[in-house]
Structure 1
Amino acid sequence: MVCTAVLAIPPLLRSTTRVLPISSSLLHLRHVAFCYCTVNGKMKSKRKSDHLERTANDFRQEIISKAKVCGIISESETVRRLRLAVTDDQFTFKAGQWVDFFIPGVAVVGGFSICSSPGLLEQEGVLELAVKYTTHPPAHWIHTQCALDSEVALRVGGNFFFDPQPADSSSNLVLIAGGVGINPLFSILLHVADLHKAQDNKGTGYKMGMTNLFYCAKNTHELLFRKHILGLTNAFPGKIGCSFHVTQQSSPICEKLQPYIKEGRLSGNDLEKYISKDTLWYICGPPPMIESISKLLENLGVAQENIFFEKWW
Structure 2
Amino acid sequence: MSFSSSPSKKSNHEERTASILRRPEKVSVVIRKITQETPTVKSFVLEPKVTTPKIDFLPGQWLDVFIPNVSTVGGFSITSTPRHFHLTNTLDLAIKYSTHPPAKWFHEEATLGNVVDIRVGGEFYYDDQEERENGTQSIDNISLQKEPGKAANNNIEKIQLLYSAKTLDELLFFERIERLKKNNSGLFDCFYFLTREDSPTSSTTFTATTKSIENISTFICRQRINEKFLIDLLTDDNDLKHLKSFLCGPTQMQDDVAGWLVKGVGLSENQIVLEKWE
Aligned residue number for residue 270 of structure 1: 229
Is residue 263 of structure 2 the alignment partner of residue 304 of structure 1? no
Question: Which has more strand, going by share of residues?
Answer: 1
The whole-number CA distance in structure 2 between the counterparts of 1:204 and 1:130 is 27
Q: Deviations over 1:77-107 (max 9, x none)?
A: 1111000012435111000000000111111
Aligned residue number for residue 30 of structure 1: none
The whole-number CA distance in structure 1 between the counterparts of 2:9 and 2:220 is 38
Contact 2:137–2:155 (Cα < 8 Å) also in 1: no
Structure 2 unaligned segments of length 5 or more: list them: 205-212
Higher relative contact order (CA 8 A, sep 6+): 1
Superposed displacement of residue 311, structure 1? 3.4
2:196 is paired with a residue of what secondary structure?
Answer: coil
Is residue 178 of structure 2 the alignment partner of residue 230 of structure 1? yes
- Mapping of 1:199-214 within 5 angstroms? 201-203=149-151, 207-214=155-162
Q: Deviations over 1:53-100 (max 9, x none)?
A: 000000111121110001100011111100001243511100000000
Superposed displacement of residue 138, structure 1? 0.6
- Mapping of 1:146-225 within 5 angstroms? 146-165=110-129, 168=133, 170-173=135-138, 189-194=140-145, 197=146, 201-203=149-151, 207-225=155-173
Superposed displacement of residue 288, structure 1? 1.5
Which of 31, 38, 56 aligns to 1:69? It is 31
Superposed displacement of residue 191, structure 1? 2.7
1:297 is paired with a residue of what secondary structure?
Answer: helix
Aligned residue number for residue 32 of structure 1: none
The whole-number CA distance in structure 1 between the counterparts of 2:200 and 2:267 is 36
The whole-number CA distance in structure 2 between the counterparts of 1:123 and 1:250 is 40
Q: Deviations over 1:32-65 (max 9, x none)?
A: xxxxxxxxxxxxxx96430000000001111211
Contact 2:144–2:152 (Cα < 8 Å) also in 1: no
The whole-number CA distance in structure 2 between the counterparts of 1:47 and 1:6 is 18
Q: Deviations over 1:104-155 (max 9, x none)?
A: 1111110001111111111111100000111111101100110111101110
The whole-number CA distance in structure 1 between the counterparts of 2:2 and 2:178 is 28
Superposed displacement of residue 189, structure 1? 4.3
Contact 1:6–1:159 (Cα < 8 Å) also in 2: no
Aligned residue number for residue 134 of structure 1: 98
Structure 1 pair 119/223, CA: closer, same or farther in 2 (3 Å)? same
1:212 is paired with a residue of what secondary structure?
Answer: strand
The residue type paired with residue 77 of structure 1 is P
Superposed displacement of residue 259, structure 1? 4.6
Could you tell me the percent identity over the aligned residues?
Answer: 32
**Range with greater deviation from structure 2 (260-269 or 285-294):** 260-269
Aligned residue number for residue 290 of structure 1: 254
Contact 2:247–2:274 (Cα < 8 Å) also in 1: yes
Structure 1 unaligned segments of length 5 or more: list them: 8-45, 174-187
Contact 2:178–2:216 (Cα < 8 Å) also in 1: no
Aligned residue number for residue 209 of structure 2: none
Structure 1 pair 145/262, CA: closer, same or farther in 2 (3 Å)? same
RMSD between aligned alpha carbons? 2.5
Superposed displacement of residue 238, structure 1? 1.1
Question: Which has more helix, going by share of residues?
Answer: 1
Q: Deviations over 1:185-211 (max 9, x none)?
A: xxx6423424xx26x733486632211
Aligned residue number for residue 98 of structure 1: 62
Superposed displacement of residue 266, structure 1? 1.6
1:277 is paired with a residue of what secondary structure?
Answer: helix
The whole-number CA distance in structure 2 between the counterparts of 1:238 and 1:115 is 24
The whole-number CA distance in structure 2 between the counterparts of 1:88 and 1:78 is 33
Task: Give the length in aligned residue pairs.
Answer: 254
Aligned residue number for residue 210 of structure 2: none
Q: TM-score, normalised by structure 2?
A: 0.83
Q: Deviations over 1:211-253 (max 9, x none)?
A: 1110011111111101110010000011111110111105854
Is residue 42 of structure 2 the alignment partner of residue 84 of structure 1? no
Is residue 70 of structure 2 the alignment partner of residue 110 of structure 1? no
The residue type paired with residue 162 of structure 2 is F
1:289 is paired with a residue of what secondary structure?
Answer: helix
Contact 1:99–1:157 (Cα < 8 Å) also in 2: yes
- Mapping of 1:32-43 within 5 angstroms? none
